[in-house]
Amino acid sequence: MSAPRNSSTCSPLRLRPWPAALALAVGLLLCLAPEAVAQSGNDVGRNIGDLLQGTATQIYGGIVAIVGLVFLINRRYTELGIFLLAAVVVAWLVFSPDQIAAAARAIGRQVLG
């Protein structure tokens, strides 16, 4: 069995004021400058969107390459050409909607006058 602890040998719990003071200072700064916090939030969304678009582009390219390789191995060259043309058109529609809108407007102006 262990010996009973003597209360005089145990050090009392000491609270350190620095973490609390630091947390209070950061909280006050955030409350006093909400515009700075809100402005940086817009960049976060744009950065996440760019990251997701880059990842989706790489995944799409990999899938197109694998399916194209299957057509190439099976010597279906006509179907490979049609598939690659369709893959380029779909990628253009999905990853460049602003260019599609500009092209549609230009075609509309030419046709409708």
| Boundaries of every domain in the chain | 63-113
Inter-helix orientation angle 77-95/34-73, to 10°: 170
pLDDT given at position 69: 96
The structure tokens listed for 79 are: 């179907």
Residue 35 — very low, low, confident or very high, per pLDDT cuts 50/70/90? low
Q: Is the pLDDT of residue 68 over 80?
A: yes
5 Ramachandran zone, left/alpha/beta (phi>0; psi -120 to 50): beta
What are the strands, taking DSSP E only, across 31-108? none
Q: Report residue 71 CA to chain centroid gap.
A: 33
The pLDDT-based confidence of 97 (bands split at 50, 70, 90) is: confident
Cβ-based neighbour number of residue 79 at 10 Å: 12
Distances (CA, A) of 15 to 10, 18, 23, 28: 15, 9, 15, 22
Instruction: Give just the sign of the alpha carbon dihedral 21, 26, 29, 31.
Output: negative
Contact call for residues 100 and 92 (beta carbons, < 8 A) = yes
Least confident segment among 31-35, 56-60, 78-82, 101-105: 31-35
